[in-house]
Amino acid sequence: MNSVPDLKGCDRSGPAWSVLPRQFYCRDTVLVARELLGKILVRRSRGGTTAGRIVEVEAYLPHDDPACHATRGRTRSNRAMFGPPGCAYVYPIHSRYCLNAVTLETGVASAVLIRAVEPLHGIALMQRRRGCLAVRNLARGPARLCEAFAVDRRLDRWNLARGQRLWIVDDPATRLRPEEIGQSVRIGVTAAHDLPLRFFWRHCPFVSGPRGWTYAQESPT
Where along the sequence are the contacts to DNA (CB under 7 A)? 58, 60, 67-69, 72, 75-78, 81, 89, 91-96, 98, 100, 111, 113, 130, 132, 137, 141-145, 153, 186-191, 208, 210-211
Considering the complex, state which of residue 67 and residue 135 has its C-beta at the smaller distance from DNA.
67
The DSSP string of 100-128 is EEE-S-TTS--EEEEEEEEEEE-HHHHHH
Instruction: Indicate the residue among 17 and 82 with the shorter CB distance to DNA.
Output: 82
Distance CA 172, CA 93 (A): 34
Minimum separation from the CB atom of position 196 to DNA (A): 14
C-beta of 77: minimal distance to DNA in Å? 3
Q: Which is nearer to DNA, 11 or 130 (CB)?
A: 130
User: What single DSSP character describes residue 210?
Assistant: S
What is the rounded CA–CA span in Å between residue 61 and residue 186? Answer: 12
Pairwise CA distance, residues 182 & 216, whole Å:
8
Task: Report the nearest approach of DNA to the CB of residue 31 (Å).
Answer: 17
Least Å from the CB of residue 154 to DNA: 12
Encode 35-46: b = buried (16+ Cβ within 10 Å), e = exposed.
bbbbbbbbbbbe
The torsion region of residue 148 among left (phi > 0), alpha (psi -120 to 50) and beta comes to: alpha
Closest approach, Cβ 215 to DNA, in A, equals 14
> Are 60 and 111 within 8 A, CB to CB?
yes
Our CB check for DNA shows the closer of 79 and 162 to be 79
Q: Which amino acid is at 192?
A: A
Of the two residues 27 and 130, which places its CB atom closer to DNA in the complex? Answer: 130
